[in-house]
Structure 1
Amino acid sequence: MSADEVLVEVDGAVAVLTINRPKARNAVNGAVARGIAAALDELEERSDVAAYVLTGAGGTFCAGMDLKGFLTGDFPVVEGRGFGGITEAPPRKPLVAAVEGYALAGGFELALSCDVIVASAESTFGLPEPRRGLVAGAGGIMRLPRRIPYHVAMEIALTGAHYPAARLYELGLVNRITPAGEALTGALELARTIAANAPLALLATKRVIVESQDWAVGEMFEKQRDIINPVFGSKDAMEGAAAFAEKHAPQWKGE
């Protein structure tokens, strides 16, 4: 399952989505956006896939929107899904970014749409849209101040400057730093660790973390119960308890 612009490979319980426009530094055009959206539509329904990795071909994660395409009316947006087919509606399953080279503008916003970020020591992040007369409208200036301190988010967004992965690791935005060229290896390792857990528990856990940011204190536990109670009554919950008691690896069914 792949299109030229987006390659998809399923490796065990992890699916790797690769933006495949290395000559354009993996800039996102309409084909890339549609390819990512189509891939996730299929993968979200597959019971054998529990987690994803998003990366770019040729040593670059993504340099943002394809400005040449933008000038010709090729907008890299999918209705209901947003820029890159993902920023307005990230997948339900956990998504890990594997960042090499540049994660700039829309590329940074794709990374911010992921749940975990693994980055090469030589990778660089930034929101340079103001330097091009544009605004980081694919979630960057909304998500960034929720992830790092306000004044640092303002600096990154207003200057348009590039920032090394090490700085974003210090701020807690990047989860792990790898040697150059090994971000995908590190991301796969982390994604496999995630995917080894019970599928229903993963979906519920991610949903609570994402949605609870907007919950009022008085309703938090009621809303959480609505999401997690079905997990406690699932066959996988019984399997997890039995596997622990009997000292064997659990066999998840996703039910």
Structure 2
Amino acid sequence: MIDSATHNDLVLFVGAGVSMESKIGNTSPPSWDKLLSSLSEVVNKSNNVDFNSILEKNLLEAAEFIRFESQKNGREQEVIDKILDLVDSPNGEQFKSNDWHDAIELLNPNIIITTNFDSILERKFPGYSKIDLTDLKNLPQKVRTRKSIIIKAHGTAGNPGTILSQGDYMRNLKDSHQLYDVINSLLLTRTCLFIGYSIGDLDFQVLLNNTKNSIHNNQISHYILTPEIPPYRKSMFRDAYGLHALEYTVNQNGSHQDGIEKLKSLGEIASTKGA
């Protein structure tokens, strides 16, 4: 992985855990279960469905419920607006980057793939070209020419077409197959590092469901930077998804600073070797 980072070949996947460290006062982007719970208040106004029981059992099903109800009741724009408010711009004020983003800057990957809806990465790295679901035609060329790019694999808050659920992915497959062709190609040819993801995250489940063959069935190693996990989960990451766990310690205050320092160290080592 260090060699890949040194030669600017490392592909970085960025999940919700990175954005959740950004704050405006005491407000931060929500976890997936809190996001879905807030969205359910928009679409399930009649309260005739016990959404919490769905949420507790299966995040994917909970997301499908929200998408179905928003379409049935004509509340799709309300859901789009609510996502933007919650994950990127509460009350119109934009979340700023945090220490995770500074560590990413040290690592200096030329390709960042994020399933996050927010635009914190784009604001942190204005020199990167943003590739969204609505603008995929230039993606293969930019990957081949080693342009610095941020790929918004599940769309951007405030825009229609965000991929909230597995059903969204399947419905958008015809239009966005080029995106996953590129992602699968990168997984087959480049070392990848996943940060800010947990196995329970909705976006991670959708991503893994649609790329697991490319991750698992090749000779290139991929890694996930994760808080300490039990041995069975490390085995699951490795055997089911081909991901090697790089663990860090979360302190008693819930700080992920140890993970940030490990990512910084990787960037510093790669920078030194490449000098």
Would you call these one fold, judging by a TM-score over 0.5? no
Q: Higher RCO, 1 or 2 (CA under 8 Å, sep at least 6)?
A: 2
TM-score with structure 1 setting the length? 0.33
TM-score with structure 2 setting the length? 0.32
> If each structure's strand is expressed as a fraction of its own residues, which one has the higher value?
1
> If each structure's helix is expressed as a fraction of its own residues, which one has the higher value?
2
